[in-house]
Each structure stands twice: as structure tokens, then as C-alpha cells.
């Protein structure tokens, strides 16, 4: 399987009036094409900093990140992002259709092609016919589905998500978890997700990158050897799920 993303010896530090803050130290791992990889670690360990580097919004002070063999120097064209706070990422004064159309403005698409992209993306996330609604008319879970649809509309090969389900209730969270697995399968998208929820990481992932320490290093890359497709009931009751959850939790807490 081809390598989609290579993180090679990445370190990150910030200059402050009080000195230098070292956030990441010699972080390395690889993400294979089509895999779902979660990044976990204690609060403040540097997960969001790593995510900014992966999206090209910031550049590391040492090391490099490659997407399919090409060093990142800015945001890759075939990468889309879904953020935690959909209330800020969606424009409340724009309809669902116009929110999804926003990232398509820089693509050379005809009006018909743009319409097809929007319709297909909404169908993928189960919101057929919602084009004319406004975000404030939708539930939190539906708004996050719109955010996912907007990401899909640009036809990315890589999807990066920052705590995408942290602001919704538990049942909606389970539904959205199953949705992103469906999206991954339907589109073959390589997916990276930052999360604090270890159960979620185990349920969704092929591998879990565990960060720990100050500055943060890769404590381990855990292979989730639970077969797909997965089920909220059966998978979460599987003995292997419990073993992996305990193992990852122990590393996050510094107990292993």
C-alpha cells in the first residue's frame, strides 16, 4: 500500500517573551493511503499544533512532512479540513448550498458541475434536499454533516478532522462516527483525526498515534487489529476493543 503522508523528524518550537517553548520533538510516523489514523495524547501535548503542520497552516522548525512524496510548504490542494466548532466554520447567513459552494469557487467548475458536487455531497451525508435551509435551522449533528459535505465537495484525497464530534451528544456522535467510516469507504479518503476520546479513536482507526511528553514525542503507533466493518454495539463489546482502549489510555496517562 502506498504512503499518503510521511512525518519525518518533525520538531516545533515557538519564541515567546519568556523564552522558547518546545512543543514537538522528533515526531515521525507514516499514514498509508486509505487508512484512518487518530492522534491522541494528554491535553496541551501538541495535537493541534501537529494538525496545523499537517494541513500546511504552519511549518515545522525541524524535519518535514510529505504528502505522496512532496514536501508540504503550504496547504495541499487535495486536502480538506473539518473543525470541531461547526457554529464558527459554517456561515449562518448563507444557505447550506452556498456554504458547501464556498471552497468550490477556486475550482474551475461549471454551474452544473458545482450543483452536482453539492447534491452528491449532501446525499453522502444523508441530507438530501437540505440545500435551501440555513445552518441555524439544523441540529448540531446536521450542521456537522454539512461541514463534512463541504469537505467532500472539493473531492479531497486526504481529510483532516480536529475533534469533529466533541460538540454533539453521544447518540449523534455515534452516528457521525459511522458516517465518516462510510465516507472513507465510499471515497477511499485517507483520514487523520485529532481526538481526546480514546474509545472513538479505537472504534474508527486503523492506527493510533499516541503523543506524550513535553515536548511531545510519539510514544507509540498502535495498530487497531479489529476487522472492518465495525459496529457500535458489537465492536465496543469486543474483548480486543477493551484491551486496546486500556493500552492506549495507559500510554496517554503515562502509566505504561
* Residue 161, in any domain of the structure: no
Look at residues 186, 111, 118 and name the one whose alpha carbon lies nearest to residue 150: 118
* C-alpha cell of residue 205: 482507526
Going from the C-alpha of 101 to that of each of 119, 148, 197, the distances in angstroms are 11, 13, 31
Average pLDDT, the chain: 92
The number of C-alpha atoms within 13 Å of 250 and in the hemisphere containing its C-beta is 10
| Strand, coil or helix: 183 | helix
Q: Is residue 160 part of a domain?
A: no
Is 44 within a domain?
yes
CB 177 within 8 A of CB 165: yes
Q: Which three cell numbers stand for residue 141?
A: 449533528
pLDDT tens digits, residue range 102-127?
A: 989 888 888 899 999 999 999 999 99
Instruction: Determine the Cα–Cα distance for residues 183 and 172; give it in Å rounded to an integer.
Output: 16
Using alpha carbons, select from 26, 25, 34, 30 the residue that is nearest to residue 221: 30
Split into its structural domains, the chain has a count of 1
What is this structure's pTM?
Answer: 0.92
In a domain, 53, yes or no: yes
pLDDT band at 209 (very low <50, low <70, confident <90, very high): very high
CB 64 within 8 A of CB 5: no
Asked whether residue 236 is assigned to any structural domain, the reply reads yes
Which residues span the domain enclosing 64? 1-78+192-256
The reply to whether 153 falls in a domain is: no
CATH number at 67 reads: 3.40.50.300
Residue from 148, 153, 209, 157 nearest 180 by CA: 148
Judged against a pLDDT cut of 80, whether residue 242 lies above it is answered with yes
Q: Is residue 213 part of a domain?
A: yes
16 in a domain, yes or no?
A: yes
Amino acid at each position: 500500500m502506498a504512503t499518503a503522508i510521511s512525518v519525518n523528524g518533525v520538531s516545533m518550537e515557538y519564541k515567546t517573551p519568556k523564552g522558547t517553548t518546545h512543543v514537538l520533538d522528533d515526531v515521525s510516523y507514516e499514514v498509508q493511503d486509505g487508512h484512518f489514523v487518530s492522534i491522541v495524547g494528554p491535553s496541551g501535548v501538541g495535537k493541534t499544533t501537529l494538525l496545523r503542520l499537517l494541513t500546511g497552516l504552519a511549518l515545522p522548525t525541524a524535519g518535514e512532512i510529505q504528502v505522496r512524496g512532496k514536501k508540504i510548504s503550504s496547504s495541499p490542494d487535495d486536502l480538506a479540513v473539518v473543525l470541531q466548532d461547526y457554529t464558527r466554520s459554517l456561515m449562518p447567513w448563507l444557505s447550506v448550498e452556498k456554504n458547501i459552494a464556498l471552497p468550490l469557487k477556486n475550482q474551475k467548475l461549471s454551474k452544473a458541475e458545482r450543483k452536482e458536487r453539492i447534491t452528491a455531497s449532501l446525499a453522502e451525508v444523508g441530507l438530501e434536499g437540505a440545500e435551501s435551509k440555513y445552518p441555524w435551522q439544523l441540529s448540531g449533528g446536521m450542521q456537522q454533516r454539512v461541514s463534512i459535505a463541504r469537505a467532500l465537495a472539493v473531492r479531497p484525497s486526504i481529510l483532516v478532522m480536529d475533534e469533529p464530534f466533541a460538540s454533539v451528544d453521544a447518540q449523534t456522535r455515534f452516528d457521525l462516527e459511522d458516517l465518516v467510516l462510510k465516507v472513507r469507504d465510499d471515497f477511499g479518503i485517507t483520514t487523520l483525526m485529532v481526538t481526546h476520546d480514546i474509545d472513538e479513536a479505537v472504534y474508527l482507526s486503523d492506527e493510533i498515534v499516541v503523543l506524550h511528553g513535553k515536548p511531545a514525542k510519539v510514544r507509540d503507533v498502535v495498530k487497531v487489529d479489529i476487522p472492518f466493518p465495525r459496529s457500535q454495539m458489537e465492536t465496543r463489546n469486543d474483548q480486543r476493543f477493551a484491551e486496546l482502549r486500556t493500552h492506549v489510555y495507559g500510554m496517554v496517562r503515562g502509566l505504561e
